[in-house]
Structure 1
Amino acid sequence: MPKTKFQNVIFTLIMAAIMVYGMIVYNVALNTGGVSNQTFLLALHEMPIMFPIAFILEFFVVEKLATRLAFTFMRPTDRPQFITYAISLMIVCIMCPVMSLIATLLFKPISFGTWIHTFGCNLPMALLWQMLYCGPLTRLIFRTLFRKQLAKKTQEAAAAQ
């Protein structure tokens, strides 16, 4: 969806914020034995640590790698939304183990087993959160913010054909 580097930065900031917050809420709920109003406040304490890490990883490393991986089974001529879904799936498949490792190193007793357990608990939630809520919400926010620029680019592309 983003057409410029600036738009890509904004899109990634929105995506990382929503994805990280949702996953932190989930992990706080796992660690405290349930969800309460306090869970949402506790999750905010980890945001200043995990959000910048997720943004940097996503923007500089994972997006390019995930796109390359997605195009190992997708073609450029496939429907754009399916390409978006494939890239999103690949991003989760890369980010989830990496962010689970970082969370383990920062917040849990460090062991291979703890990391694997954290990753195993996080992967199903990360996939569902990304595909059903975070991704669509991020794209909606992004389209709303850049409605005029995106419409102009679409018109220019149609005129060029």
Structure 2
Amino acid sequence: MPKSLGQEILFTIMMVFVMVYAMICYNIALAMGGLSNSVFLLAFHELPIMAPIAFVIDFFIVGPLAKKITFSKFNPEQTNPVFIILSISICSVWMMCPLMSLAATILFKGGFQKEMISIWLQTTAFNYPMAAFWQMLVAGPLVRVIFGLMFKNKKPAAK
């Protein structure tokens, strides 16, 4: 887990990239009626728009709220770290999914129109299962492993 502001920023950037890219691919595949190789390239067109939005929302709003909620329920010194990680992840998906679905609705699904609320609610409902599974089973573990390897505490060699 991040131990400094710089590490927190890097961790958030890594998580945002893995989550946002996957969710963009998912939404493009839904819109196209299925997954094809072109989806992976098309996603790079939306990534420069959606990733900064996700970073700002996560770093300044959702991340701190997810930690506040988690640490109001769990004492980190008495709780298995797995439960802390799961709680933060669940809280993050719970808040990020509707916010990012709203951004996508405004930017890519017709914006402010009479059906906007319905489109946003449908987009959120479609995104929740994918976001939750992707976070718990792929993005979260992958980013934590890579991050852990990057900041592995090197112990001095035994004499």
TM-score, structure 1 length as denominator? Answer: 0.89
Distance 1:70 1:113 in 2: 31
Structure 1: gaps (5+ residues) = 156-161
Matched, 1:63 2:68: no
Distance 2:60 2:71 in 1: 18
Partner of 1:83: 84
Return the letter of the residue paired with 1:136.
Answer: P
Matched, 1:132 2:133: no
Return the letter of the residue paired with 2:137.
Answer: L
Distance 1:71 1:145 in 2: 26
Distance 1:69 1:146 in 2: 26
Shift of 1:81: 1.4
Matched, 1:97 2:98: yes
Return the letter of the residue paired with 1:6.
Answer: G
Q: Which has the higher helix share?
A: 1
**After TM superposition, what 4+ stretches of structure 1 lie above 4 angstroms from structure 2?**
none
Q: Percent identity?
A: 50
- Matched pairs, number: 151
Distance 2:33 2:19 in 1: 21
TM-align CA RMSD: 1.4
The correspondence of residues 43-62 of structure 1 with structure 2, limited to 5 A, is 43-62=43-62
Distance 1:90 1:37 in 2: 32
Distance 1:143 1:136 in 2: 10
How big is each residue's C-alpha offset from its partner over 1:90-135, in whole Å with a ceiling of 9 and x where there is no partner? Answer: 0000000000000000011341000000000000100000000000
Return the letter of the residue paired with 1:20.
Answer: V
Shift of 1:144: 1.4
Partner of 1:159: none
| 2:151 maps to which of 146, 153, 159 | 146
Return the letter of the residue paired with 2:88.
Answer: I
How big is each residue's C-alpha offset from its partner over 1:39-60, in whole Å with a ceiling of 9 and x where there is no partner? Answer: 1001111000000110111111
The correspondence of residues 7-46 of structure 1 with structure 2, limited to 5 A, is 7-46=7-46
